[in-house]
Amino acid sequence: MSDGHWHSTPFDDDKLKEECGIFGVVGVAEAANFTALGLHALQHRGQEAGGIVVHHPEQGFNSVRRFGYVRDNFTDQDTMDMLPGSLAIGHVRYSTSGSKGATAIRDVQPFFGEFAMGGAAIAHNGNITNAEALRRELIERGSIFQSSSDSECIIHLMARSLQRNIPERMKDALRRVEGAFSVVAMTRTKLIGVRDPLGVRPLVLGRVADGWALASETCALDIIGAEFVREIEPGEMVVISEAEGVVSHRPFEAKRPRFCIFEHVYFSRPDSILGGRSVYSTREAIGRELAKEAPVDADLVCPVPDSGTPAAIGYGLESGIPYAMGIIRNQYMGRTFIEPTESIRNMGVRLKLNVNRALVRGKRIILVDDSVVRGTTSRKIKEMILDAGAKEVHFRIASPPTAWPCFYGVDTPQREKLLAATMSEEEMRAHLGVDSLRFISLDGLYRAVGEAQGRDPSAPQYCDACFSGEYPVEPMDQLQRGFRLKAAE
């Protein structure tokens, strides 16, 4: 992960990391157990640490925060006994803001605050683009910060609000915040969910037994047997209680939504539903579109597992070239293995992936992956395939070139480390040493997610800043640090 230890093997180093998964439940016995299950289903959104906060009428608020996987921290009875109550929220994280590589337990969400009208806890997925300015202002006015996380600003803004109840204080706070935020929060009796006006990051509502659940993705509702009700809409705040059910508010002025298109490409689990569309079907459609845009004569279409699999299936179906598992993933590669020497560290990909030699020998192979970020992994995989005797290697990438960093809750390298920021497609092909390299076009990606006319350049339907360099919210903190936006054409 991001702590610089060797166990971030090169295989996963070259993927963009979604920063967080959030989950909340109200009106069910043993809410913490439901939350642990929900977070387990969202583990792909953050593997660094997790936390759960609960409220019980007699025992008040309790929380447990731990480094590592949900399954290692929130499955033993002793831990879960510390978390009684019928109302809980939880969070899994991969740090984007805050101290990189030196995460302290105090940075692990949910964050808790005690206010005049009682306590509240909050968990946030996204990134606040004016967090540094807000933090400076709050510290000058006497706020004392416990963590390095941008999300803590929300708690301090709530504390300073003059509103009479916590949902109103939260509205006050979030109106000061810029960037991307999907939030779950809780008071002693209420579960609260909010999406920012652009709806960049996801949040869904489900019905579970006599209660309600909020989650980053529908796969977290599936695991607890909850019925998916609907998405929380961009700019909507829902306040949910056992007494009143779901009450919807509109605290922000309405804007045209700009959901993150990369959720469709990579972040979300393929068994989730986004915007009424199956993520798996969308990824298969991306593969079909790619086969139309970038055909090539070859013997086999092979995914880079697991993220390239649905697109590779789509490419195979559209092109008529057989789909095959040319690369096999070792499912049991944990985060830490042995403390390796440099020579073993360089074999990192082999620990996670192995080539199906008998299948690829002598063949012309199309490798389908979801993205190329730095290109480090792509080169290693290409070498493995050629070492196994493949005749040709053609890369087909199920997203446009990633040329710009994301400031809305995704961990992106600095711009100069993104291969596509400094190289043309042909230069990237030469750098990776493959027979051909093609990315899906931005219009092709939009068609695959259901926009038949492609991307509307005057009013893009999604946030695609990582591909286009067009940021729907100006990244204030980054601009003050000298980040330069794309020049207007």
φ, ψ at 55 (rounded to 5°): -130, 135
Helix 166-175 / helix 152-160 crossing angle, nearest 10 deg: 120
Report cis status (omega within 30 of 0) of the bond before 110: yes
Pair of tokens at residue 395? 């890369």
Determine how many CB atoms are found less than 10 A away from the CB of residue 217.
27
Length of the chain: 489
* Distance from C-alpha of 309 to C-alpha of 299, rounded to nearest angstrom: 17
Contact by Cβ (8 Å): 345, 6? yes
Q: Is 466 a catalytic residue?
A: no
Q: What is the DSSP string of 327-379?
A: EEE-TT--S------HHHHTTHHHHHEEE-HHHHTT-EEEEEES--SSSHHHH
Determine how many CB atoms are found less than 10 A away from the CB of residue 323.
20
DSSP type of residue 487 = P
**Could you tell me which of 387, 350, 349, 363 has the C-alpha nearest to residue 301?**
363
* Distance from C-alpha of 229 to C-alpha of 227, rounded to nearest angstrom: 6
Pair of tokens at residue 53? 């906060």
* Distance from C-alpha of 66 to C-alpha of 227, rounded to nearest angstrom: 29
Which one of the listed residues 20, 219, 406, 466 is annotated catalytic?
20
Residues with Cβ within 8 Å of residue 306, at least 6 apart in sequence: 329
Please, what's the b/e burial string for 161-175 (b: 16 or more CB within 10 A of its CB; e: otherwise)? beeeebbebbbbbbe
First-last CA distance in the chain:
38
Report cis status (omega within 30 of 0) of the bond before 306: yes
Q: Is 294 exposed, middle or buried (0-12, 13-18, 19+ CB in 10 A)?
A: buried
Active-site amino acid positions: 20
